[in-house]
Amino acid sequence: MVSARQLADFGYKAFSGSMMLLTLYGGYLCSVRAYHYFQRQSLLKQPEQEQMHADAVKD
């Protein structure tokens, strides 16, 4: 028979483990979103830099 304390300890460990996994998954999602954001920013800045370079070559 499982005592109340053992059951509570198991519940606490299961809850703590699930919170740890959720935290790791949230960090992963945040880093992926930041990566995509900076990739998009660099793609948007690339034509501006090419235009500035073309203007500098014309002068």
Could you tell me the pTM of the whole model?
Answer: 0.67
Higher per-residue confidence, 59 vs 20: 20
DSSP state letters, the chain:
---HHHHHHHHHHHHHHHHHHHHHHHHHHHHHHHHHHHHHHHHHHHHHHHHHHHHHHH-
- Tens of pLDDT along 10-32? 999 999 999 999 999 999 999 99
Q: What percent of the chain has pLDDT over 70?
A: 90
CA 58 to chain centre: 42
pLDDT at residue 44, as a whole number: 87
